[in-house]
A and B are shown apart, each in its own frame.
Chain A
Amino acid sequence: MTPPPERVKRTLVTGVIGSDTHIVGNRILSMALEDAGYHVVTLGALTPAEDFIKAAIETAADGIMVSSLYGQGELDCRGFRDLCVEAGLQDILLYVGGNLVVGKQDWGDVEQRFLKMGFDRAFPPGTRANEVIQLLDEDFSKRNSGVGAAGQ
C-alpha cells in the first residue's frame, strides 16, 4: 500500500526522554510510523530534552514524539515547549506518551498536566500505534487548513 503523500513529506523525531531505557514501546511506535509513510528520526533511549530539539532543528521536523516509562517523565518534560519556542520551533507538534508519572494516578489529571505543559496530545500506557497515526493525520490536516492543533 502506498502511504498518503501527505505523510511522506512529514518528518517526526522519536525518543525516550531522560534517564529512561525503556525502548520497546517507542521502537514499536517508530516502526509503525515508518510503515505508515512518515520519515522518522529515531533517537532511542536515554535522550535528553535538548537532543530532541537539536534533532528537530537539524531535520526540519514537523513533530516530536516523546516516550517516558519510568515515572520521572513529569520532571523530564517540564519546560519542553519553552525549549522548542526558544529554538524557533514554536509550531512543532508535540506528543508525549507512556507511564508519565509515579504510581497510580487518574489519567484525566495526568493528561491535563501535560497539555498545560504545552504538549498537543498525551497518551496513556497501552495506546496503540494506529491510534496515534490517525490523530497525527488529523492534526496535520488541521494545520494544513489553517486551524490550530488540537488541545492548544
Chain B
Amino acid sequence: MSYASPLDEKLRPFSSEQIPQELFTKLREENLARWPTGAEVDLDEAVYYHQSLPDHKRLPWVLRQAEAEGRCLTQPRGGFGTLELQIELMKALDKEGLADVVPTTTDSYTRNERWDQAETGIAESEKEGRSMLNGFPMVNYGPRRTRKLIEAINKPGIVLSGTSMPRLTGEVGYAAGFTGYLGSGLAYVTSYTKEMTIEEAIRNYQYLDRLVALYQDKGVELHRRQPGFLTGTNIPPSIAIITCVIDALLAAAQGVKSYGLEMGQTLHLIQDAAAIRACKELAQEYLQRAGYDDVSTPVISLHWMGAWPQDEAQCAALVSYGGTLAAIGGAASVTTKSTHEAFGIPTPQANAESLRTTRMAVYLARQIRMDDHPEFLKEVDLIKREVRPILDRTLEIGEGDIAVGTVRACEAGIVDIPWSPNRYIKSRVMPARDADGYLRILDPGDMPFDKQVLEIHTERLHARAEREGVPFDRELAVSSVYEISEPLSRLVKGPSKDDKQPTVTS
C-alpha cells in the first residue's frame, strides 16, 4: 500500500524538480475526486476570494509586517468537531485571546484521510452537543462551508494538520480562504508515521507546495510552514534546523515564496535566541546557494513541545516564559500552548487566557535582544558548525538533488531524529540536557558531526553527570525527557543543613 498518489509515483521520477503543469493538473483531478467535497474546489473562484481579502487577513503580508517592525505575533492551536463549535472557538481566540493568527487544527481522522470516520464523528458531536473529534474535519465540510470560519475572524487563518497526507486537506483549506498551512515532507513523516517512507511523504508535500505555486502564478501569495518541532522531545536546535533547511529547499523548488520555519523552544534563553538566529541565517544561506533569493523564511518559536507538568501554575510559567523566549530571540511569531496542556485539549477560554499571558510577556520583552552577548554568539557559531556538515553531506549524496539526498541521508543515518516512531529513521541520535540547561547531543548515532563539536557536547554533559553525581550514560537522556514535567518538589529543593543554596535536579 502506498501513502502517496499512485499516479504521481507512476508518472514522475522522484526528484526535487517542480512538478510540471500538465502533470499537476492530472494529479489535482485525481486528488479532488477522492471525496465528494473535492468537486467544490474551484481554483479561479478561490483566487477571486483570496484577492478580495484585506492585507491584514493574509498571512504572508502579516508576517512580513511583523518582521519589518520587529514584532512577535501570537498564534494558538485549536480545533473542534463541528462548524458551529469551530466558529465559536476562532472568534474567542481572535477577540478574547487577541491572537494575531487564528488556527484551525484538523482532527485525527482527517489527518489520516479517514473521512468516512470523520463523518460519523461530526454526527456524534452534533448529537452530544460537544466535540467528539480532536479537531475540525475540514474535508468533510468542504471549502464552501469551511469559508465561514474565515468570515468569522478578522485575522489570517492557518491550517494545522499534523499529517504526512495533506493533499486534499490542503486543497480544501486554501480554497476556503486560509492563507497558511503547517506541515512538511521530512518533518512530519519523522514525527507522525511509522510505515510511511520518506519519499512518499516528500511527494505528498511537493503536491501542496506546487499548489501554492499555482496560486502564486495567479497572483495569490500563500504561506507554507515547516514544523521543526519534530518529535517534540528535546530536539537540539541543529537537528531542527537541518530539517527546516531541507524542507525549505524542497518547497522553494516547487515555487513557494513564503515559508515559515518553526523552532520548538529548548527553554534556555541563550540557546533559543541562538537557534532562531542560526535558523534564519542558515535557511537563507542554503536557499541562496541553491539559487532561490526571493523566499522569505520567518522563524516561529514554539512553546515547549515536550511533556508538560500537571500543575497549572507550573504550566503558566512555561506559557509566559515561552513568550519571553520568542520575543527576545527575535521570532516573527510564537505558537502557544495553554495551562491545560497536561490534560489534553483546552477550553476556548483557557486557550485565550494563555494567549494573553504570552502577549504580555512579549510586550515586556520590548526590544531586549541577545545580539552582542558573547555566550549567544558562541552558541550561534556552534549550531552552524553542527548543521553544515550534515546538510552538505545530504546534498552531496543526493548528487545535487535535495529530495534524493534526503531519502539517502535518512537511510544512512546522516539525517537522524531523536525518538522517531518512523521505521525509515534510524533514531539513534540521543539528546540530553547539560549542566547549564542547554540541549546537547549525548549520542550522535551515525550523524557526521565534526569531532571537535561533539567534544564540546560530551564535555558539557560530563559536567552535568559530575554535578549530579550520576554516571555518564543513557539515563542522562531519559531523565531529560521527564524533567520539565516533574513536580516542583522534585525540581527545586529547599535549603537544607548541608546545602544552603537551592539545588536544581533533573
> Are A21's CB and B343's CB within 8 A?
no
How far does the alpha carbon of A71 sit from the alpha carbon of B108 in the complex, in Å? 12
Among the stretches B58-66, B397-405, B416-424, the one at the interface with A is B416-424
Given A45-B421, A126-B485, do A21 and B191 touch, yes or no (CB 8 Å)? Answer: yes
CB neighbours (8 Å) of A25 from chain B are 481
Given the known interface contacts A19-B108, A23-B419, A24-B481, the answer about A44 and B231 at a Cβ–Cβ threshold of 8 Å is no
Q: A6: shortest Cβ distance to chain B, in Å?
A: 23
Measured CA separation A146–B285 after assembly (Å): 68
A103 contacts the other chain (CB 8 A)? yes
**Shortest Cβ distance from A99 into chain B, in angstroms?**
8
Contacts A16-B421, A21-B192 known; list 5 others, CB within 8 Å: A23-B421, A31-B474, A71-B344, A102-B344, A103-B343
**CA distance in complex: A102, B193 (Å):** 22
Q: A21-B191, A21-B193, A28-B478 are in contact. Are A44 and B112 (CB under 8 A)?
A: no
Give the CA-CA distance A54 to B233 in the complex, in Å: 30
- In the complex, which range does the number of interface residues on chain A fall in? 10 to 19
Residue of B nearest to A101 (CB): B344
- Interface residue B49 (Cβ < 8 Å from any Cβ of A): no
Residues of B close to A46: CB separation below 8 A: 193-195, 421
Tell me the B residues contacting A by CB distance below 8 Å.
108, 112, 191-195, 231, 233, 343-344, 419-421, 423, 474, 478, 481-482, 485
A103 to B341 alpha-carbon distance, docked (Å): 10
Q: Which residues of A contact B (CB under 8 A)?
A: 16, 19, 21, 23-25, 27-28, 31-32, 44-46, 71, 102-104, 126
Question: Which label, helix, strand, loop or mixed, suits the secondary structure of the A interface?
Answer: loop
Q: How far is it, in angstroms, between the C-alpha of A46 and the C-alpha of B421 when the chains are bound? A: 8
Find B194's partner among A24, A45, A104 (CB 8 Å cutoff): A45
Q: Which residue on chain B has the smallest CB distance to residue A21?
A: B421
**A44 CA to B424 CA, complexed, in Å:** 13
What residues on A are CB-neighbors of B481 within 8 Å?
24-25, 28
**How many angstroms between the C-alpha atoms of A40 and B157 in the bound complex?**
46
B423 adjacent to A44 (CB under 8 Å): yes
CA distance in complex: A104, B345 (Å) = 11
The interface residues of chain B lying within 8 Å CB-to-CB of A71 are 344
Residue picked from B192, B193, B194, B195, most chain A C-beta under 10 Å: B194
> Which residues in A have their C-beta under 8 angstroms from that of B195?
46
Nearest residue, chain A, Cβ from B192: A21
Q: A24-B481, A31-B474, A46-B421 are in contact. Are A104 and B343 (CB under 8 A)?
A: yes
The closest CB in chain B to the CB of A69 belongs to: B307
Which 6 residue pairs of A and B lie closest in terms of their CB atoms, listed nearest first? A45-B421, A23-B421, A46-B194, A104-B343, A24-B419, A21-B421
> For B112, what are the chain A residues with a Cβ–Cβ distance below 8 Å?
19
Interface core residue of A23, A24, A25 (most chain B CB under 10 Å):
A24
The reply to whether A126 and B482 form a contact with Cβ atoms under 8 Å apart is yes
6 A–B contact pairs at CB < 8 A?
A19-B112, A23-B231, A24-B419, A32-B478, A44-B194, A71-B344
Q: Could you tell me the distance in whole angstroms from the C-beta of B418 to the nearest C-beta in chain A?
A: 9
**Residues of the B chain whose Cβ atoms lie less than 8 Å from the Cβ of A23:** 231, 419-421
| B421: A residues at CB distance < 8 A | 16, 21, 23, 44-46
